Amino acid sequence: MVRILSIANQKGGVGKTTTSVNLSASLAAYKQRVLLVDIDPQGNATMGSGVNKTECELSVYDVLTEKKAIEDVIVTAEKGKYHLLPSNGDLVAAEVELMQEIGRESRLRHALKRVAANYDYIIIDCPPSLNMLTVNALVASDGVVIPMQCEYYALEGLSALNNTIRQIAKLINPRLRIEGILRTMYDPRSSLTNAVSAQLRKYFGDRVYRVSIPRNVRLAEAPSHGMPALVYDRNSKGSIAYLALASEMLKQEKAEQAKLHEASGS
């Protein structure tokens, strides 16, 4: 059964797109069938997947405005070995157009239902704001992965996002939850990093992933070459960290399925 995960944080520069692209590639490396949905008008996940956003005749805009079926818009990210629902600047217009539409919050959810059976994981790269595009992503998702730097202001932003997730879970999508907190650009030598990390564990417990993503030059370089770090330099610390994250997520999923199976059998 498919897992739909939004990669979200309204704070920019925390590694959302880096996580979306590299987690998708890492899950694909573990033989998972993956669809990466780029719902950010900047189209960085599209470019980072090796697809030129300026050459995309169709994008997620056409899906959200119901001009095209999702099957006609999905492309293959050859280097990462996953499928991609691309984005570009056209998406800016979608939010304005959707404001007048009934059921606007659920457009992405309805579209993804059409193709959900084809995938094990659907990863949604959200824009760095809590707008209608992000709401569409959260309404469509089972869980939210929150990449964040271990710094003081990050905790304030996390509180606002947590409130939004609770509201959407209460009003529209009761299955939505925080899937995990991912510490990015992690420097274990910093006392602030360790202090914030301890606070995260205090409040979120085992929902803080054991794996953290280090600062890594190869991770930063890979998007300019239009490929995930796993393809650009498989042996880099960043690539190894995202492979470890994918492994941790797959083990969590397996453990949860075993619990459900046990509960239904008893």
CATH number of the CATH domain containing 137: 3.40.50.300
pLDDT at 47: 97
What gap in Å lies between CA 80 and CA 49, rounded to an integer?
A: 7
pLDDT at 258: 87
The DSSP element (H or E) to which 179 belongs, if any, is strand 177-184
What gap in Å lies between CA 69 and CA 79, rounded to an integer?
A: 25
Q: How many alpha carbons fall within 13 Å on the CB side of residue 76?
A: 5
pLDDT at 245: 98
What gap in Å lies between CA 86 and CA 60, rounded to an integer?
A: 6
Domain that holds residue 50: 3-265
pLDDT at 114: 97
pLDDT by residue for the chain (266 residues), tens only, comes to 899 999 999 888 899 999 999 999 999 999 999 999 999 999 999 999 999 999 999 999 999 999 999 999 999 999 999 999 999 999 999 888 888 888 899 999 999 999 999 999 999 999 998 889 999 999 999 999 999 998 877 777 788 889 999 999 999 999 999 999 999 999 989 899 999 999 999 989 999 999 999 999 999 999 999 999 999 999 999 999 999 999 999 999 999 888 888 887 75
Domain tally, the chain: 1
Strand, coil or helix: what is 178? strand
pLDDT at 98: 86
Q: How many alpha carbons fall within 13 Å on the CB side of residue 207?
A: 15
What gap in Å lies between CA 212 and CA 89, rounded to an integer?
A: 32
pLDDT at 95: 83
| 36 DSSP β-pair partners | 84, 123
